[in-house]
Structure 1
């Protein structure tokens, strides 16, 4: 006769419910003695029609992101008043949402002392200066192999890069000087960050990953020239970063290239004896990404300094930051 399998009955039951806790002896203290993170004095003020920008900024609540924004503004203002650098690292999307005039104005006013961009940045900067428009419809062009095949973009940018390599220039300087050669050929060059850098004598560096940019597909692309000019720009940016004790680095819209580049410049500077222990770093983007948070906000400041994150769309956040800084500096 087959043996019967015993059914599991689970834990033994006492048949009694657990009695509720007795809270009658709970210890309390006066609310006024408790530390509170939010106070009425920190609240926003309603907007009144006809007010100024400075009044608007003052109405913002002194809580969370506004506290971070104010701290970043204060760091930038202090850096410029003490002659320390303010470096702006930008992804190409920053140009595509129309922010070049804001950045060139900050350069001209002496607020931003150096700009770093990725390889895509020179494409949009160049096309805007040349034609007044940029950013093709990739979905509409990729199926027929037309994506990235604009003749002038490939030919002229590679010509500028090769000429820069022969002249011992960095990539950013080479393209900026190329754009500045002819106002007739580049009728919109007032929008160009690269041209502004060359005109003002401010470093605008370009950091390229070969194969990521449309001009690398063109037969005029010269890997040796691209590599030489971009490496020179890396070392030029490293020299700027090495001297940024008391300064500020702001990464706007670059999720991979510039956070990696910035971290290496910090390490190189410290290896050569530059302290970089009192620096402010900022990441601005509409999404939080691993590399900017790690390689811009956290790692470079773990020795000293402060790192901040400001989350929001570039076309809102960067003009807001720029306006707040200009108001704080008291400049026209």
Structure 2
């Protein structure tokens, strides 16, 4: 006998105009490198420029808080310059992107709105589900579906949209969701089959892109689970095919940017007695996947500092004679 399921027709949606927003587009940073410095940055910038020159993958994985930090201009410019060839997000990333593009604001107080039962139940944000459904009908993944809707729809602040810029530039933004993780999954028009199809399409796009990682680079900004896990599975798939062809995907660069202090000896994973052993970016991105000939870097810092700094290092390297 089936278990009872929540009846979403009982939900009351409200317009975004009724919500108090924690962030506006005033958070967007100017397109400049900033003052942040780290000894690994010049090498990371060179690797991005070198990967572009050889046509290898330049992958940037990110948590949604990179957008909340105001790094939109830097991400868009990196794509426009060809220094980033794919961006991977979790499910919250497109939601912030959509809201910023639509109303110039995003982010609500969980404490305030979960208490009243209003958290996430905003009418205009839920329209993302309809855009994803239309995209899936056209064979698109989740990122391209949302990017097209923003690029071609009435979004007064679409200049701030990373997904719309990617759609315009024909650069994939892949979105890797977990059902129930994101506020649009609360809405009556959410279709789990459509969301799963859209995100799985994006996973296959990501995995195909990783096939070009030899001589390339993967950057991971603040995604502690989605980024490392999706990258790990995609790399296993890409190496499986490469090995059958007598090829290797081994000589590439990875870099992790986050707040956790790892110390200087991050090229060997922490022992299991150390709680940091379970920090996936360290053992997966910085150690295990580059063990056959790659290199890795760790940069500790806030995204509002590190993203502009990487942009500055990469653009300087690309423009160097």
TM-score by length of 2: 0.80
Answering whether residue 61 of structure 2 is matched by residue 94 of structure 1, we say no
Identify the structure with bigger relative contact order (alpha carbons < 8 Å, sequence gap 6+): 2
Deviation at 1:202, TM superposition (A): 0.6
Distance in 2, Cα, partners of 1:243 & 1:330: 23
Deviation for aligned residue 1:158: 0.3
Question: Counterpart in 1 of 2:286?
Answer: 297
Does 2:137 correspond to 1:166? yes
1:262 aligns with 2:251: no
The reply on whether 1:278 has 2:267 as its aligned counterpart is: no
Corresponding residue number in structure 2 for 1:327 = 316
Report which stretch shifted further, 291-300 or 239-248.
291-300
The SS at the match of 1:168 is: coil
**1:220 matched to 2:180:** no
Please give the residue correspondences for 1:228-243 in structure 2 after superposition, counting only pairs within 5 Å.
Answer: 228-243=197-212
Which is further off, 80-89 or 198-207?
A: 80-89
Distance (whole Å) between structure 2 residues aligned to residue 193 and residue 164 of structure 1: 17
> CA offset at residue 71 of structure 1?
2.0
Per-residue CA deviation, residues 149-201 of structure 1 (Å, 9 max, x unaligned), is 111101x100011111111111101111111112xx20111111111111111
- Structure with bigger gyration radius: 1
In the aligned structure 2, how far is the partner of 1:285 from the partner of 1:249? 14
CA-atom RMSD, angstroms? Answer: 1.7
Q: How far off is 1:94 after superposition?
A: 0.2
Shift of 1:125: 0.6
> Unmatched 5+ residue regions in structure 2?
1-31, 262-275
In 2: Cα distance, 1:330 partner to 1:119 partner: 34
Quote the offset at 1:70 in angstroms.
2.3
2:151 is the counterpart of 1:209: no
Q: Distance in 2 between matches of 1:236 and 1:84?
A: 15
Range with greater deviation from structure 2 (236-245 or 266-275): 266-275
Structure 1 CA distance for aligned equivalents of residues 157 and 222 of structure 2: 24
Measure, in 2, the Cα distance between the counterparts of 1:163 and 1:287.
40
1:116 matched to which residue of 2? Answer: 88
Residue 242 (structure 2) pairs with residue 253 (structure 1):
no
What whole-Å deviation, never above 9, does each CA across 1:291-331 have from its counterpart, x for those lacking one? 11122111110122111111100000110110111112218
Question: Normalization by structure 1: what TM-score?
Answer: 0.78
> By how many angstroms is 1:85 displaced?
2.0
